[in-house]
């Protein structure tokens, strides 16, 4: 299953990106009102994660081909660099509503900040995971570390391959 480098691909990527943001925004609004409903929110999170995973896998297959274009590499960077931390932030919001997940009394923006800091493995220390979210934070750091490394390798491969054609 390969993704063609076309307007359709760009629209699909944009739709997933916007859906991730809208999903986080909806759950963040529910979180601030105390209305998170665990089954539906988890189902939405799982569906978003599966679609994002399939798109990234297909994009990586496409990059391995000779005719890969730079826009695919860029879109994969955006999908992985933004949608994955948004997905983890959504999971933190859902679990924080039912268990103490992040130390202190974080707002939805604090949880989003925590997710991006964890994904990029910065770890400032102003927020820390508690209880069940320790495992999610460790998984997010591993996914972030590997994703950023894979993206850098794909970008260098693409640039090296195309340097000889100019």
**What's the CA gap between 129 and 134, in Å, rounded?**
5
The pLDDT value recorded for residue 118 is 93
Residue 1 has pLDDT above 50, yes or no: no
Average pLDDT of span 140-157 = 83
The pTM score is 0.70
Using CA atoms, how far residue 103 sits from 35, 107, 114, 135, in Å, is 20, 11, 11, 14
Q: Tokens 């590499």: give the residue.
A: 73
Residue 117 has pLDDT above 90, yes or no: yes
* Structural class in CATH, domain 7-161: mainly alpha
The pLDDT value recorded for residue 137 is 92
Over residues 54-101, the pLDDT tens digits come to 666 666 666 566 555 666 667 677 777 877 888 888 888 888 877 888
Over residues 18-61, the pLDDT tens digits come to 777 777 777 777 766 666 666 666 676 777 677 667 666 666 66
Boundaries of every domain in the chain? 7-161
Using CA atoms, how far residue 111 sits from 19, 57, 93, in Å, is 18, 27, 7
């Amino acid at each position: 299953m390969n993704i063609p480098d076309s307007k359709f691909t760009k629209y699909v990527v944009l739709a997933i990106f916007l859906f991730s943001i809208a999903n986080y925004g909806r759950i963040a609004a529910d979180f601030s009102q105390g209305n998170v409903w665990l089954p539906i929110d988890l189902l939405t999170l799982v569906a978003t994660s599966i679609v994002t995973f399939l798109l990234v896998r297909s994009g990586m297959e496409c990059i391995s081909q000779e005719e890969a274009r730079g826009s695919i590499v860029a879109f994969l960077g955006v999908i992985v660099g933004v949608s994955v931390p948004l997905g983890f932030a959504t999971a933190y919001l859902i679990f924080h509503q039912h268990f103490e997940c992040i130390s202190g009394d974080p707002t939805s923006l604090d949880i989003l900040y925590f997710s991006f800091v964890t994904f990029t493995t910065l770890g400032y220390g102003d927020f820390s995971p508690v209880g069940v979210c320790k495992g999610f934070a460790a998984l997010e750091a591993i996914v972030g570390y590997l994703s950023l490394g894979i993206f850098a390798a794909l970008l260098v491969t693409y640039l090296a391959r195309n340097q000889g054609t100019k």
